[in-house]
Amino acid sequence: MFKKTTLISVLLITIFLLSACAAPAATTQAPQATPPPAKTEAPKPEPTATTAPSATRVPTGEKELILATTTSTQDSGLLDYLLPMFEDQFGIKVDVIAVGSGQALKLGQDGNADVLLVHSPAQEKDFMAAGHGVRREDVMYNDFVIVGPESDPAGIKGMISATDAFKKIAETKSPFVSRGDNSGTNTKELAIWKAAGIEPAGDWYISAGQGMGEVLTMADEQQAYTLSDRATYLARTKEGLKLKLLVEGDKALFNPYGVIAVNPAKNLAIKNDLANQFIDWIISLPAQEKIEQFGKADFGQSLFTPDSTAWREAHPTTQ
């Protein structure tokens, strides 16, 4: 009985094993990853007509005016004298950028100033012709002078012609400091060299790339000649400048100043209304009278002569 039961058990185990081998192996698949939800992009805003052009300035609601001007109006002290009157009267803050006239005009061209006060007639004419400005008015004038050391190594003292004086400076290779900054003064200086038929170069000719005040200081330190507007030169003599005024009175040394409203199409931040308010004020008789008084107390003469249309009409006999 035992053997029979054992034999049956062995047969059953064998059948089970054969069945297991014949069955196909179950394939276990890795679970499928759930795909991430699709990204939803925010809708892009439609372009609008009020999108500001790419420029340094951005629109603000403040009553603030950016005035780009030549260093002579700053270094002479004229702006410190005039602007507080405008700011107090109209409640408009004026931020001044004092550079050469060429740089001031470039600031206007790039839309980074509201109004310009400069003294470079040829560059101003080109600026207006190109549409960078929308309004230009005459403001005032003074003159350029040639200054130098008291020793006067080129012997130009008392000469009438600026061109002849420049010729002597070049012939003697006496040190000369140039603004070298595309300012109105630098433009005038280069025009005088051209009229003299000279292209200045050499160790004696120093291109500073600086404003008028800095150039006068350099010329003083180096016992050199330079061309300066009269106002800045006189203002610096009050601060110890020892250079002497050697040549003056040539018609070629006439130095007119103009005020320009920058084209508001240059930048949505340009405050054309404030620019025109400033222009209307500086060419008005009250402001022109203030300009006419500037310098008299210290130097016995006006450092700038008023020249707006309103001033000329009110003083026809002085023209």
Which residues lie below 8 Å from residue 236, measured CB to CB, with a gap of 6+? 75, 213, 216, 217
Q: How confident is the model at residue 317 (pLDDT cuts 50, 70, 90)?
A: confident
Q: How confident is the model at residue 319 (pLDDT cuts 50, 70, 90)?
A: low
Under DSSP, the state recorded for 225 is: B
Residue identified by tokens 């003074």 is 142
- The three-state secondary structure class of 193 is helix
- The pair of structure tokens assigned to 226 is 């330079």
Assess contact for 143 and 230: CB atoms under 8 A: yes
Structure confidence by residue, pLDDT tens digits, 55-102: 456 566 579 999 999 999 999 999 999 999 999 999 999 999 999 999
Q: How confident is the model at residue 30 (pLDDT cuts 50, 70, 90)?
A: very low
Structure confidence by residue, pLDDT tens digits, 132-169: 999 999 999 999 999 999 999 999 999 999 999 999 99
Under DSSP, the state recorded for 317 is: G
Rounded to whole angstroms, the Cα distance separating 20 from 39 reads: 50
Rounded to whole angstroms, the Cα distance separating 102 from 108 reads: 10
Structure confidence by residue, pLDDT tens digits, 5-20: 343 343 344 434 344 4
Average confidence score pLDDT of the chain = 86
Helical ranges in the chain per DSSP H: 2-22, 71-75, 78-90, 101-109, 121-129, 162-171, 184-195, 212-222, 230-237, 272-282, 285-293, 296-299, 309-314
C-alpha neighbours within 13 Å on the C-beta side of residue 269: 18
Assess contact for 294 and 302: CB atoms under 8 A: yes
Rounded to whole angstroms, the Cα distance separating 92 from 73 reads: 19
- The pair of structure tokens assigned to 89 is 């009267």
* 64-142+256-318: CATH architecture: 3-Layer(aba) Sandwich (3.40)
* Beta-carbon count within 10 A of 25 CB: 5
* Beta-carbon count within 10 A of 143 CB: 17
Dihedral sign for Cα 239, 243, 249, 254, please.
negative
What is the per-residue pLDDT for 62?
Answer: 73
Ordered by start, the domain boundaries in the chain are: 64-142+256-318, 143-253
Picking from 307, 299, 172, the residue whose alpha carbon sits closest to that of residue 245 is 299
Give burial (CB, 10 Å; 0-12/13-18/19+) of 264.
middle
Domain spanning 143-253, CATH class = alpha beta
Assess contact for 165 and 147: CB atoms under 8 A: no
Rounded to whole angstroms, the Cα distance separating 189 from 201 reads: 14
